[in-house]
Amino acid sequence: GAVVSQHPSRVICKSGTSVKIECRSLDFQATTMFWYRQFPKKSLMLMATSNEGSKATYEQGVEKDKFLINHASLTLSTLTVTSAHPEDSSFYICSARRAGVHNEQFFGPGTRLTVL
Amino acid sequence: AQSVTQPDIHITVSEGASLELRCNYSYGATPYLFWYVQSPGQGLQLLLKYFSGDTLVQGIKGFEAEFKRSQSSFNLRKPSVHWSDAAEYFCAVGNNDMRFGAGTRLTVKP
């Protein structure tokens, strides 16, 4: 159990377009999901915390109008990169928190975004 | 604020040699601690985790880690490294929001 999927795994888009990335908890309900960004050869940086049915909480320095997060159900959160630019190219990873004694997070496999 | 430090950016060991990857954390309470491994272009794989209890934690692939509160450390160890262990290793701390160290790249020499 505790599987998290992301779709797509890889996407290439033109500069100026918007891209939506989905994060799903396949076998558990997640009231909270997290979005991370990873630059090449760098660590994961938390971008935002997504709570089901409410607005996401963004980390300092993350543009909320550029990275739109929606968490409309207990198993799905989406990250939309709006008006993408080459500097938005990155590896985006989501995680979902499963309710329990330790409220453990489970990570998705990541989405590679390349903006041309 | 919570933070994680992995002092070693890159480590090279010979196959069959022992390994220790260092991790120090700063956290206001008893931390949840994790070690993840990431191969190039791949997602994260959880190696082991510490929530409470026994401070020596056993993980997958023969890895173990020891939580030392007095040193604020959670170092990862493996007695005999295999070539397939070459990857990036991340230490992480937290629960409600997780913070990652900068990572340590492990190279294994034949």
Model pLDDT for residues B27-38, shown as the tens digit of each residue: 877 789 999 999
3-state secondary structure of A7: strand
State the pLDDT at residue B41: 82
How confident is the model at residue B98, as a pLDDT?
86
**What residues have CB less than 8 Å from B50, skipping those under 6 apart?**
B31, B32, B33, B34, B57, B65, B67, B74
Q: What is the pLDDT of residues A38-88, one digit of tens each?
A: 988 889 999 999 988 889 999 999 999 999 999 989 999 999 999 999 999
Q: Does A14 touch chain B (CB under 8 A)?
A: no
Q: How many CA atoms lie within 13 A of B33 on its CB side?
A: 33
Give all strands (DSSP E) within A18-89, no chain letters: 19-25, 32-38, 44-51, 57-58, 67-73, 76-81
Chain B residues touching residue A45 (CB < 8 angstroms): 100
Judged by CB atoms closer than 8 Å, whether chains meet at B41 and A93 is answered as: no
Q: How far is A91 from chain B (nearest CA, A)?
A: 9
B51 at interface of A, judged by CB pairs closer than 8 A = yes
| Tens digit of each residue's pLDDT (9 = 90 or more) over A19-30 | 999 999 999 999
Tell me which chain B residues have a C-beta less than 8 angstroms from the C-beta of A21: none
3-state SS assignment for residue A84? coil
User: What is the rounded CA–CA span in Å between residue B2 and residue B29?
Assistant: 9
* pLDDT of A31 strictly over 90: no
A9-13, A72-76, A99-103, B11-15: least confidently modelled range: A99-103
**pLDDT for the residue numbered A99:** 80
Share of chain B above pLDDT 90, in %: 81
Shortest Cα–Cα distance, B43 to chain A (Å):
4
- Between CA A106 and CA B62 the distance in angstroms is 21
Q: Which residues contact B70 (CB under 8 A, 6 or more apart)?
A: none
Q: Identify all chain A residues contacting B36, using CB atoms and an 8 Å cutoff.
A: 107
Gap between the Cα atoms of A21 and A26, Å rounded? 16
pLDDT at A54: 87
